[in-house]
Amino acid sequence: MFFDNLESTFHLVGLGAITIIAVLNPFGNLPQFLAMTDEVHTPLRQKLFRNILWTALLIVLIFLLTGSFIMQYLFRVNLDSVRVAGGGGGLSLL
């Protein structure tokens, strides 16, 4: 019983990590960052990279914690309707 719960926890953590990687797209943004900071000295580039990383993480966490509230109470959109619309749109792209 403990291992079933642990397995579902690992599944959710892995699914969340994959989602965050897909949204932030670090593999696509890294060449752009390197090209934009080509003439910047390495210590300043590292500081800039850390600032960008922490800012992106903070934005993702804010929307993770307040996203459903914003959608339901400010825009009056139900989360299930977003799931249905997103699934249909994604399916049509295939």
Domain ranges of the chain: 1-36, 38-94
Instruction: Tell me the C-alpha distance between 17 and 20, whole Å.
Output: 5
For residue 42, the model assigns a pLDDT of 93
Q: Following DSSP, what letter does each residue of 12-51 receive, concatenated?
A: HHHHHHHHHHHHH-HHHHHHHHHHHTTTS-HHHHHHHHHH
For residue 51, the model assigns a pLDDT of 96
For residue 75, the model assigns a pLDDT of 82
Cβ neighbourhood burial of 26 (10 Å; 0-12, 13-18, 19+): exposed
For residue 21, the model assigns a pLDDT of 82
Amino acid letter, residue 37: T
For residue 37, the model assigns a pLDDT of 92
Helix, strand, coil proportions of the chain in percent (round to 5)?
A: 85, 0, 15
> Averaged in consecutive runs of 10 residues, what is the pLDDT profile of the chain (94 residues)?
70 81 85 92 94 90 85 81 62 52
Instruction: Tell me the C-alpha distance between 71 and 81, whole Å.
Output: 11
